Amino acid sequence: MDGDPSVAARDDLAGVVDLFEWLTREELSRALSELAFKQRAEVDDEAIAAAIDVAVAEYALVAAPPGALAEAGAGAGPEAVADPGDVGDADGEGEIPDGDAIALAVGPAAFPSLPADAEDLPHILDVPDREVDRETLSGAVLERLSADAVAAIGAGDAERLELLADVTYDIEAWAPVDAGDIRERIVDELDA
């Protein structure tokens, strides 16, 4: 977990989350610490937090609203999951809510892969069976994408707009949503 997170590292984070359907940031951090221990590597909590932030900023992982989460034998997500007002939108500049209780699910820009020894994580972590309501999740992600685009347009951040333009295609392949209006606003801004 040294240096800047690579695309492979982000996809590995998504692969770990995919093993469980969703994890809180704290659970994902603990899973990554367990993997580092199994691989006899040093644990760098700051690098883990930074990798998670990058994965969320780039839509490889997405903050999931409690209404999209369920545990086996339960209704909505657990009390540990943050209030829906806390998980929604990033401000478009890569600043992501970082509370440990925020639930993360695999996002539209991920190609989940499993890092070495990750197959042991379900036996190591005490996490119940979980489910994600993809319709609710995709609606929340589309709202965040729209808010991120507005913020990036307002900031004149062409680099962020280019990333978000790519995400508009990813989200349409990931869920039955239409991001055409958002993409059109982004392209118009980039062409201006």
pLDDT digits (tens, 9 = 90+) for 12-46: 999 999 999 999 999 999 999 999 888 888 888 89
Decide: 59 and 167 in contact? Cβ < 8 Å: yes
pLDDT at 192 (0 to 100): 87
Q: Is the pLDDT of residue 1 over 70?
A: no
* Calpha distance 34→39 (Å, rounded): 9
Domains in the chain, number: 1
Q: Would 92 be classed as within a structural domain?
A: yes
Establish if 1 belongs to a structural domain. Answer: no
Task: Kindly state whether residue 2 falls inside one of the protein's structural domains.
Answer: no
Q: Can you give the residue range of the structural domain that contains 176?
A: 7-191
Kind plus residue range of the DSSP H or E element containing 37 = helix 25-38
Looking at the DSSP bridge assignments, the partners of residue 70 are 131
CB under 8 Å to 10, separation ≥6 — which residues? Answer: 51, 54, 55, 58, 60, 61, 110
Tens-place pLDDT, residues 95-133: 444 476 799 999 999 999 999 889 999 999 989 999 999
**pLDDT score of 40:** 86
- Provide the pLDDT for residue 97: 46
